[in-house]
Structure 1
Amino acid sequence: MKKTAVAVCTVLAVLGGFVLVLFVGTGLSRPAPAGVCTPGTALAVGDVPDGQIAGYSGEQLANAATIMRVGAERGMDAWGQTIGVMTAMGESGLRVLDRGDAAGPDSRGLFQQRDNGAWGTYADRMDPARSAAMFFDALNKIEGWRDLQPTLAANRVQRNADPLHYADYWDAAVQVVTALSETDTTDDRAPGHRYDLGPVKPHTQALAEEVGARFDLAEIGGYRDSAVDAGGHPAGLAVDFMTHDDTATGDAIVSYLIAHADRLSVDYIIWRQAIWRTAEADKGWQPMADRGSDTANHLDHPHVNVTPTPSANAETGPLDCLAATTAGPAGPATGQWVAPVDGPITSPYGPRLLFGSSFHAGTDFGAACGTPIYAAADGQVTYAGGPHPRLGLTGHVIVIDHGDGIQTSYNHMYASDLLTRPGQHVTAGQLIAVVGNDGNSTNCHLHFAVYVNGEHTDPEPFMATQGTRLG
């Protein structure tokens, strides 16, 4: 069983003249596949077709339809519904099993839920609808589950010994969910709309729904014909995310919008009396004149304008989104280099000016404990164990020799989460460990370092020369 603690890290970043607090690791990391889908949109279920879909038929498809319906009733979007179907595929093959296995002889039902007091009665576990409801209720309690790879989100609930067990079932789950879905959504007010913004453009609504769901916002302003920005609120191209005195959430929203500006069709953002334009991103934040009040100066809400025409990379709907995703790690062909973990950079290489005069000889990535760590390139494992005194690494450490004087190291994992051993040959993208919080560490994260001829070097430009962008 892997550790399932989920941590929230905070880092300081300077954008223009502003210091922003960014929350990463659970809710706001660089998204896994979940990040490309719009939260808040559930799929309605149509008739169960005859024949097979991805090898499933009859009772299995009926059970998948039940999982989807229950997911929508429990507030799940299309992403969550598909995770539910994927999980049941991996646990029971979409059948209500009245038996367990060697690891869990008391497991029962679609989700193989245990008789341990956490999963209701025997009748609950054997009932497709009730067992699905228990699964979705548990999933919804996992902080940042939409930012996890689907297999990891499922594993947070199921606690399978292999966190990647469910990845093999994602493509089939997408096929089944797509085939069982109607074109309409389950929301009676408007398709997939949680927020009533008035007559705004569809891509304006989509941005509001995604950001609102991600940050659990209660109030978003949309269309206002009385607003003075003719190309903004009156045109249905602007939204206000009302954060009031919660500056940290406002900062986090702004950071997310900037990171996804192209996909979300962001034209410009106004926040804390400054403006950031996508077309002038290299100029950073530019100060604005004092307009008097906190609201006029956008101190109590980030304002976002979208482009009149959606970006070519904007999503068109939940089914299109699901069809474009993959649940597994992007393991490239042998000989290439890959990012070692899916997560944002929380502490770069170099002097730590905010933490005394220490030098940080690697790059830290914020990621939840249990997130997979991959070998950055082909090589041979030369060390896998406790602290590495010569390299100054604490916690549990893996070192890989890639030849030509190049080594990489990975640390802060727990002992039980080292999935390789000294002498083993690994390939780029191969799973070697999962993120932990061991050693000199205050939050779940990966410390990744690169050494050339025995000397540490900045991983970001090094990996860039190998054709791989970090963070």
Structure 2
Amino acid sequence: MNRGRIGLSVAVIAALLLCVVPVTVVLTDDTPAAACTATGPSPSSTSKVRAVGRWNAEQVGSAAQIVAVGRQRGVPARGWIIAVATAMVESSLRNLRGGDRDSLGLFQQRPSQGWGTPAQILDPVYASGKFYDKLLRIDGWERLPLTVAAQRVQVSAFPDRYGQYEHDAEQVVAAVAGVTTIAELPGASLATCPGGPVTVAASGWTVPLRAAVGSGYGPRAGRLHAGVDLSVPRNTIIRAASAGQVVWAGCDPSTGNCDIDGSPSTRGCGWYVDLVHAGGYGTRYCHLVRRPDVAEGDTVQAGQQIGLVGTSGHSSGPHLHFQTHQRVCSGSRCDLANANSTDPVPFMRHRSAALGERG
């Protein structure tokens, strides 16, 4: 896999060289529960609607209506995320007056399938209420992967699409709810926080997550296993090991469909992130559960959340496959390849960010 070969300007590398500050920083000393479910301000239906990322003000306004209905009905915030992501897929958050066959509205509900009359379905309040009604009848919906919960409501011919919009839905819902991040809405995300504080060492490095090292670096079945495997539950938060620039954040082309669980016979990293750091170092994070929380070109800080653990790609269960690389850049080009990989265990230990310790 050589998708890590990315052109990166000398100016960016120079900027990264300025990021290594010899200090130790504790990012949070909250307990896992407090860090994940801190109480934030209540959603406000009077907040000014504005564009969020690729979603314009009109589309965000539709999301605000969906959230308002959920809040009025007492639906937990996780339901708002599922509903908004579903409407993103079905209608791009537009109250469409047509669609496939007799599909209508934000959720492309069909009168012929018992969702209501055309006039009712085109009412966003009614349509949102009908979506929530069906969602709440699903046992354990709050803990289901978003794409599974949405599919059980919608019964779509494309069941894997909903999860692709989870991160976008979290950003939009946070904005219309009047909070800074989705973590401020208790239960909105399935993300789990590891125990203990997130500490950035004087070297500027930190562990991506706390877990015992499973499969180590070295030859495996005639090929190089170019990293280490850290087994933790699905949806555990993955953090950037050091400040740097995102040079890849997406689905490994060799995997194909990253929105379903992988297997030992599946190829590639699944959803993964490549970062380039000061000093010509690089790190790779494989098998994420969904689209990464960062995008190519983003600058990240040490300890920043970049994604959630999953089992996409060549994987037999939830874990993070973590790689470290050195001398990854030549001129303006950077390449995270097996040839410049190095064993992450001594690499991280040398930077006072030892792997293999559970919180």
TM range (shorter): 0.3 to 0.5
In the superposition, the TM-score normalised over structure 2's length comes to 0.43
**Bigger proportion of residues as strand:** 1
User: Greater relative contact order (Cα 8 A, min sep 6): structure 1 or 2?
Assistant: 2
Please tell me whether Structure 1 or Structure 2 has the larger radius of gyration of its CA atoms: 1
